[in-house]
């Protein structure tokens, strides 16, 4: 994806109670859904006889023109504060225009100096889709553009929250949200990008989705020790009512993670030394895994063929992931700047979180001796779900000079 953009933004304060923001932008998009590169190199006695790179594009470039115009007003009326705005966008691709008007409204009311409530409503449109394969947990996703056949994704999001700052140096918040999504993309049953993304428009379906959750945050903002603890209880699913995916039933999204916990602590010993650590815990995502395997007998030639039985999409949840990151900083002030040395350890206790999950086949050969004395041989096929960890414990050293 290549984007070229130009934009202009303005701020205007006609009255102390009003802060206006408005602007416009233009983006020129160039999408290449697939690029295949091969290189042929021949050497003879350390002499390069041939070194050629071939580039083949299975899908033609998709061009897009995006114009946008927005305006918003931040209004302060004592304890009541409102931010109202609207965002207009026009996307042109392959001779087709997509127009959207996206209103945004948020309001905050201070019940006291220490307690406040906030509510918001937002409409959004997105002209690039995230396309994930659910048949196997690979750390690869495709971003595909809107075309004359693929409409933009739209969403309506509602949020309601409360905030408390009654304890000195601490902030507490709780917020609930609900999001409806329209025209989300998923691969059709049995299709994926593993072979090639060529002709990807014929392999996808458009449906609807929803996300919902509650977020909690406690944050310490002053003192030598600062940090926060945040927890989110969330759910995200998809539905394709035409029945082409999962028989028209709801199923969890690939990145549906029920529990998310983040802990961050920073401590400053003095002007030279400080240390920080963060711990992250997430419920595992989902993938589609065959639960049974059946043999189909063809009567014409008495041959059999194995086929996998998948009861539902994203029917298997991966193990939970967690890791601890630790960093120590040493600062030394110089005449013309600041020297900082950092020693960090990513995944300090080497948690083997799976980044890649695949099905491995094991073939076992068995034999017995029949009563007649003749041997009888047969094979047994066992499938195992294996995981691969790509990011174990990784230390690093960084030097920074600011002037």
Nearest CA among 292, 204, 286, 208 for reference residue 250: 208
Check residue 302 and give left, alpha or beta (phi > 0: left; psi -120 to 50: alpha).
Answer: left
Give the predicted TM-score (pTM) of the model: 0.81
Q: What CA–CA distance (Å, rounded) separates 145 from 130?
A: 9
pLDDT score, position 387: 82
SS3 content of the chain, % helix, strand, coil (to 5): 0, 70, 30
Q: For the chain, list residues with pLDDT below 50.
A: 195
Contacts 24+ apart (CB under 8 A), 47-51: none
Neighbours of 220 (CB within 10 A): 17
Please tell me the number of Cα atoms within 13 Å of 382 on its side-chain side. 6
pLDDT score, position 126: 93
Buried-state track 67-86, b at ≥16 Cβ within 10 A, e below 16: ebebebbbeeeeeebebebe
Q: Which residues contact 307 (CB under 8 A, 6 or more apart)?
A: 293, 294, 295, 296
Nearest CA among 187, 84, 87 for reference residue 127: 87
Three-state secondary structure readout of 294-313: EEEEECCCCEEEEEEECCCC
Q: Which residues contact 357 (CB under 8 A, 6 or more apart)?
A: 136, 137, 287, 318, 385, 386, 387, 388
Q: Which two tokens stand for residue 181?
A: 């999504």
Q: Which two tokens stand for residue 9?
A: 């933004």
End-to-end CA distance of the chain: 35
Q: Which two tokens stand for residue 129?
A: 């889709």
The predicted-structure confidence for 147-192, as pLDDT tens digits, reads as follows 999 999 999 999 999 999 999 999 999 999 999 999 999 888 766 5
Structural Rg of the chain based on CA atoms: 28
Buried-state track 275-294, b at ≥16 Cβ within 10 A, e below 16: ebbbbbbbbbbbbbbbeeee
pLDDT score, position 195: 46
Q: Which two tokens stand for residue 289?
A: 């895994």
């Amino acid at each position: 994806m290549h984007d070229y953009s130009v934009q202009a933004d303005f701020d205007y304060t006609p009255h102390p109670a009003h802060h206006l923001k408005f602007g416009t932008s233009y983006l020129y998009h160039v999408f290449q859904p697939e690029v295949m590169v091969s290189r042929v190199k021949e050497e003879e006695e350390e002499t390069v006889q041939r070194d050629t790179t071939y580039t083949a594009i299975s899908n033609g470039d998709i061009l897009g023109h995006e114009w946008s115009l927005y305006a918003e007003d931040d209004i302060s009326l004592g304890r009541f504060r409102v931010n109202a705005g609207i965002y207009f966008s026009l996307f042109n691709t392959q001779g087709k225009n997509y127009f959207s008007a996206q209103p945004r409204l948020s309001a905050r009311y201070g019940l006291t100096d220490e307690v406040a409530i906030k509510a918001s409503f937002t409409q959004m449109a997105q002209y690039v889709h995230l396309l994930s394969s659910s048949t196997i947990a690979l750390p690869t996703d495709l971003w595909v553009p809107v075309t004359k056949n693929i409409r933009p994704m739209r969403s309506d999001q509602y949020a309601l929250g409360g905030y408390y700052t009654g304890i000195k140096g601490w902030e507490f918040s709780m917020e609930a949200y609900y999001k409806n999504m329209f025209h989300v993309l998923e691969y059709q049953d049995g299709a994926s990008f593993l072979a090639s993304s060529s002709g990807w428009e014929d392999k996808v379906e458009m449906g609807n989705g929803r996300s919902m959750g509650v977020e909690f945050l406690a944050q310490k903002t002053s003192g030598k020790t600062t940090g926060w603890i945040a927890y989110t209880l969330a759910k995200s699913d998809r539905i394709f009512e035409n029945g082409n995916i999962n028989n028209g039933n709801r199923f969890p999204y690939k990145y549906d993670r029920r529990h998310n916990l983040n802990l961050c602590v920073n401590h400053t010993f003095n002007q030279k030394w400080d240390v920080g650590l963060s711990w992250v815990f997430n419920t595992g995502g989902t993938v589609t895994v065959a639960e049974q395997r059946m043999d189909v007998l063809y009567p014409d030639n008495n041959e059999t063929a194995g086929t996998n039985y998948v009861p539902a999409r994203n029917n298997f949840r991966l193990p939970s992931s967690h890791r601890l990151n630790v960093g120590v900083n040493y600062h030394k002030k110089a005449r013309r700047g600041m020297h900082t040395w950092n020693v960090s350890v990513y995944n300090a206790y080497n948690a083997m979180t799976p980044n890649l999950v695949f099905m491995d086949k094991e073939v076992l050969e068995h034999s017995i001796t029949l009563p007649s004395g003749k041997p009888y041989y047969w094979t047994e096929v066992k499938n195992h779900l294996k995981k691969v960890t790509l990011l174990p414990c990784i230390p690093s050293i960084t030097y920074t000079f600011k002037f």
